[in-house]
Structure 1
């Protein structure tokens, strides 16, 4: 199947349904394929569940990080209102 797509795209990269996205096990033509988020194939429900758990953990860390940034921003605003010089904003370096 990869050779079929490489003829169109000029690439030897395997098609996403040829191997498990987690363990890279070959997905045969008569094997079950477990999908996640529409375009991610897995060889088993266990591999799929492991990826889901990993993605959920990343999302939780991201939410905690965003909450921490909002808290720091509100504390900086309070310090500024209390007469302390605190500069906030975006710095762009070219």
Structure 2
């Protein structure tokens, strides 16, 4: 009977360490596996580093987008209150 890994949710996760998360290269049973963010296996330091750089670029883009969104909100009026005179007959 082969060993099976269980994920934190209790489901079958038997394919967890079979392939590189970036290039999908098969991970050998006797080769080094490079991990990133806890559960992402990579076949080499280069693949892991490339994923780190991809994630860093996405985070930077997200931060710039968030900053622009916050600046736009600061420029817009805080409320939709209208002032004026109301005449009732």
- Bin the TM-score by the shorter chain: 0.7 to 0.9
TM norm structure 1: 0.69
The structure where helix makes up a greater share of residues is 1
Match of 2:77 in 1: 77
- Find out whether 1:27 has 2:17 as its counterpart: no
SS at match of 1:30: coil
Aligned residues: CA RMSD: 2.6
Give CA deviations for 1:2-23 in whole Å, capped at 9, x if unaligned: 98459x84x6x75221110000
Give CA deviations for 1:64-93 in whole Å, capped at 9, x if unaligned: 000000010011037x69x8xxxxxxxxxx
Match of 1:38 in 2: 38
Alpha-carbon distance in 1 for matches of 2:73, 2:14 = 45
The answer to whether the Cα contact below 8 Å between 2:34 and 2:48 also exists between their aligned partners in 1 is yes
TM norm structure 2: 0.72
Alpha-carbon distance in 1 for matches of 2:52, 2:61 = 14
Runs of 4+ in 1 over 4 A off after TM superposition: none
Alpha-carbon distance in 2 for matches of 1:14, 1:20 = 14
Task: Please identify the structure whose Cα radius of gyration is greater.
Answer: 2
Unaligned runs of 5+ in 1: 84-94
Match of 1:67 in 2: 67
